[in-house]
Structure 1
């Protein structure tokens, strides 16, 4: 078996949630949170969607071959072998090798840990997946997609071009993508969601919310309470309301309409206030589906 076939596996004792930190230059990260004790880590070579990273790997291998250095022929194996893994004080850290050229070699990291753990992850161009119930989650990737099943604590997700999917987040979150679609099942705390050109699709909203897009459409399935502010250069708005609400929605050059009864009289004690501005998109307010 060649070094590139090597898979590192490490296990640690943990009877409850831990703090997980993963930082790699390139490659995918999976964190699986389960109702079981113990922490398991797996690191293996991985393909990359980044041509620059693949090109560097090929170049270094060619240089090593030309100089008679067989070790350089297997950069993937070296990147796996030299990845840094530390565990202590209920904290797990997984990081790329210190060597600069090895940091660009893509590796795949899989972590299994108890439910309720916190996750902090950074990767250059790979996808990041967090399955199960997490506490706090902070993820950043340049071009990969981000998927988080559930987070009970604060959430911060950032992707340069990839889509973002988040399940229920009762503590709220801050999500940003350059061009990817953002989907969130439920937001229960003060939140901000923004994209340049991607669409934003939100489920149930029960707290203050700020949403901004450049050209992407914004859809809220069920707005219940809080102050919601929507802004887009040319995207359309579609807002479902669960009960009484106050609206101030304007489209500069298109149509705004409501499928729920509207009155000009201001009513005190309304649980939901929605304001929004779009340059050329349409606006529709409708009754949220039960």
Structure 2
């Protein structure tokens, strides 16, 4: 699955799944454009990646003009975009629907839905012009399951699944594939925040309960998610588009 001289654009690239994916693509020879909110954090992350060419770009993906800018800067620097890992996302505050605030709803939907839309809007323009490209959106098991206290997040990930299907249909005639990955709990800082929000008095107990809901009895590693993203972006997945891949240790076997 060589990505020699291929350009890979990744949002939410400073940590967790984004950074692990950047490292995996770098091992395959890719040129990287990494997007995140904080330049210092982004540069620190980039320094851990063994790649010949890494472009770092700060942006709030929820703002259309900033999404447009990170896509344009990537194209200016490299001349093309072969792969887009549309990964930036947040979990939001843990609030039941009866208590949820407008601020929390908007914050989550802005990043997780509008951010996905804006990234696709401008990346697909580039890929349609070059008549090739692969996109992987980061969904979640929250794209088909519910979770108490996380309705905004769950709604946003249901949206990502729907956006993926529509984008795949729009891109197909141009040779552009669009898929999504849908992980369960992943061993990242975001998951640690979810544990603390779920049980502020005993985050370890929350983790244990979440692991018990996964048949394989553990969280995924970011690298395992990265491996799937790299595969879906590769020529080995050349006839796969418009779907989402559950990567959840068998958890989806207990649901529709």
Flag the structure with larger Rg.
1
Q: TM-score, normalised by structure 1?
A: 0.24
Normalised by the length of structure 2, the TM-score is 0.26
Relative CO higher for 1 or 2, CA cutoff 8 Å, sep ≥ 6?
Answer: 2
